[in-house]
């Protein structure tokens, strides 16, 4: 039997948390009844600095020994919250899932079976996104295509619903990047992988916690962290513009020597000036984007800080710790960063 940990990042999810907890527990019980998961399996809610009543609800839910709560010191974003959960949850295999249950919980059974067959990574892939708004669907799907075109290895229509074996989680811990794009990192781990497909549903309640701003920043993360193609595109553009201006110079020289049509023109001076200015600024912008990411990586700040941990086998407060940064390359011994 597998000891399963389910990791759920939550940001202002008070409307859904109780129902989510109920359904996840029901799922664990179902899997236990089928002899697939161990009775010590648990659900880990990672409160990503919610401003609503989410943490109070999590604290209350943690009276159930199968439900635990990890509270981050402030909002660090979905990817970091997810990482905090993965690094601190216990279990032979960990499944990450969003709090709004847009992802079909029933495929957890297939995930666990595939894990038992020897797979270290099992991706949940959305076969149908009709429940998403057309704008979201279009932007998300074009984005996956763009990433592929730029040479970034991502699983099409897979978000962060996946199972990772303990081995894969330990491997993930050795990726120290601050600009975190888990969908890009996981395929780099290798190991035996499999996919399960499901139909993506509607949000249980509440609003999307991914406004356009956060979506764009995640999108940029994915490109910059995994692809140098934009930098190469700048070089190509540079070559192209140089070649063009050489050709233009040659043409002007020939016109001057062999025709009398060479009137000093305003357009031929001003248009290239503006155009080249624009190209240069654009290229600087792309360079700056990489530079900013390097800046953050060099600083190597902790990706999350844990404020409090609740729940555990006795349903008690396990630790109400002083702020604790994540540990170094986390192995099984650091799976409980707070108690270290
Ligand atoms: N989330 C988080 N921190 C954030 C934003 C979102 O932990 O800063 C969580 C959120 O609670 C949810 C998951 O990330 O469990 C995905 O968010 P959401 O469902 O709002 O995104 P969407 O499905 O609209 O892309
Ligand atoms: Mg959602």
Predicted confidence at residue 256, as pLDDT, reads 79
For residue 264, pLDDT beyond 90: no
Helices (H) then strands (E): counts for the chain = 10, 9
Asked whether residue 148 falls in the same domain as residue 54, the answer is yes
Q: Is 36 within 8 Å of 113 (Cβ atoms)?
A: yes
- Output the pLDDT for position 325: 54
Q: Cα(45)–Cα(101) distance, rounded to whole angstroms?
A: 13
Q: Are residues 294 and 263 in the same domain?
A: yes
**Domain shared by 54 and 115, yes or no:** yes
The reported pLDDT for the residue numbered 329 is: 37
Read off the pLDDT of residues 293-320 as tens digits, 9 standing for 90 and up.
Answer: 888 888 888 899 898 999 876 544 444 4
* Burial of 4 from C-beta contacts in 10 A (0-12 / 13-18 / 19+): buried
In this predicted structure, the answer to whether residue 81 has a pLDDT above a threshold of 80 is: yes
Query: What pLDDT shows up at residue 336?
Result: 39
Residues 198 and 108 in one domain: yes
- Highest mean pLDDT (candidates 116-125, 231-240, 283-292): 116-125
d(CA 121, CA 93): 9
Higher pLDDT, 271 or 118: 118
Ligand 2 centroid, distance to 53 Cα (angstroms): 19
266 has a pLDDT exceeding 70: no
How far apart are alpha carbons 223 and 293 in whole angstroms?
A: 11
Calculate mean pLDDT across residues 141-151.
Answer: 87
What ligand 1 atom has the least distance to the C-alpha of 13?
11
| Same domain assignment for residues 41 and 87 | yes
CA-closest residue to ligand 1 atom 13: 98
- Expressed as residue numbers, the domain containing 292 is 229-299
Can you tell me the distance from the alpha carbon of 189 to that of 185, in angstroms, rounded to the nearest whole number? 7
Tally of domains in the chain: 2
Cβ(79)–Cβ(218) below 8 Å: yes
Could you tell me which residues come within 8 angstroms of residue 249 by beta carbon, excluding any fewer than 6 positions away? none
* 276-297 pLDDT per residue, tens: 888 888 888 888 888 888 888 8
Q: What is the pLDDT of residue 17?
A: 95
Ligand 1, atom 24, lies closest to the CA of: 208
**Greater model confidence, 14 or 283:** 14
221 and 123 both lie in a single domain: yes
Hey, what are 29's tokens?
Answer: 């019980």
Q: What is the whole-number distance in angstroms between the Cα of residue 76 and the centre of ligand 1?
A: 11
Residue 121 shares a structural domain with residue 218 = yes
Instruction: Give, for ligand 1, the residue of 43, 78, 97 to mutate: max count of ligand atoms closer than 8 Å to Cβ.
Output: 78
Copy the structure tokens of residue 297. 């990586």
Distance CA 137, CA 133 (A): 6
pLDDT tens string 151-165: 888 888 888 999 999
Strand partners, 57: none
CATH number at residue 93: 3.90.550.10
Look at residue 331 in the predicted model and tell me its pLDDT. 36
**Are 38 and 107 part of one and the same domain?**
yes
Answer yes or no: do 21 and 143 share one domain. yes
pLDDT tens, position by position, 163-184: 999 999 999 999 988 888 999 9
At residue 224, the pLDDT reads: 84
Ligand 1, atom nearest to 77 Cα: 8
Ligand nearest 160 Cα, by number? 1
Query: Do 2 and 38 form a contact (C-beta atoms < 8 A)?
Result: yes
Q: Distance (Å, rounded) from C-alpha 88 to C-alpha 306?
A: 10
34 or 274, higher pLDDT? 34
3-state secondary structure of 100: coil
Residue 78 has pLDDT above 90, yes or no: yes
pLDDT at 2 over 70: yes
Nearest ligand for residue 210 CA: 1
Distance CA 321, CA 332 (A): 20
| pLDDT confidence band for 328 (50 / 70 / 90) | very low
CA pair distance 229, 235, nearest whole angstrom? 10
pLDDT higher than threshold 90 for residue 34? yes
Same domain for 120 and 168, yes or no, is yes
What is the pLDDT, as a whole number, of residue 267? 66
| 37: DSSP letter | B
pLDDT (0 to 100) of residue 225: 85
Q: What is the pTM of this model?
A: 0.78
Q: What is the mean pLDDT of the chain?
A: 85
Does residue 64 share a domain with residue 114? yes
Shared domain check, 160 and 215: yes
Tell me what the mean pLDDT of segment 14-27 comes to.
95
Which percentage of the chain shows pLDDT scores above 90?
Answer: 45
Of residues 132 and 327, which shows the higher confidence score? Answer: 132
């Amino acid at each position: 039997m597998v000891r399963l940990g389910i990791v759920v990042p939550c940001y202002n999810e008070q409307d859904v948390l109780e129902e989510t907890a109920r359904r996840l527990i029901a799922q664990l019980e179902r899997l236990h009844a089928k002899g697939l998961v161990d009775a010590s399996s648990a659900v880990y809610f990672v409160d990503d600095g919610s401003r609503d009543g989410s943490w109070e609800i999590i604290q209350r839910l943690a009276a159930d020994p199968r439900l635990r709560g990890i509270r981050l010191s402030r909002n660090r974003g979905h990817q970091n919250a997810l990482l905090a959960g993965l690094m601190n949850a216990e279990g032979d295999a960990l499944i990450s899932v969003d709090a709004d249950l847009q992802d079909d919980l029933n495929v957890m059974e297939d995930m666990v079976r595939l894990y038992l067959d020897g797979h270290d990574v099992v991706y949940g892939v959305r076969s149908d996104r009709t429940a998403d708004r057309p704008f979201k669907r279009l932007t998300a799907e074009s984005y996956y295509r763009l990433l592929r075109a730029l040479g970034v290895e991502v699983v099409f229509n897979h978000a962060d619903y996946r199972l990772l074996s303990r081995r894969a989680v330990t491997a993930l811990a050795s990726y120290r990047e601050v600009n975190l794009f888990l969908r890009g990192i996981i395929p780099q781990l290798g190991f035996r992988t499999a996919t399960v497909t499901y139909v993506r549903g509607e949000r249980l309640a509440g609003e999307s916690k991914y406004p356009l701003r956060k979506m764009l920043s995640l999108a940029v993360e994915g490109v910059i962290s995994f692809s140098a193609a934009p930098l190469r595109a700048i070089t190509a553009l540079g070559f192209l513009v140089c070649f063009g201006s050489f050709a233009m110079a040659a043409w002007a020289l020939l016109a001057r020597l062999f025709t009398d049509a060479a009137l000093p023109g305003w357009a031929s001076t001003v248009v290239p000036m503006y155009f080249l200015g624009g190209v240069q600024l654009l290229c600087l912008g792309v360079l700056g984007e990489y530079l900013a990411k390097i800046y953050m990586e060099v600083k190597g700040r902790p990706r999350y800080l844990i404020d409090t941990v609740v729940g555990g086998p006795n349903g008690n407060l396990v630790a109400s710790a002083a702020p604790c940064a994540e540990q170094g390359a986390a192995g099984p011994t650091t799976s409980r960063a707070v108690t270290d």
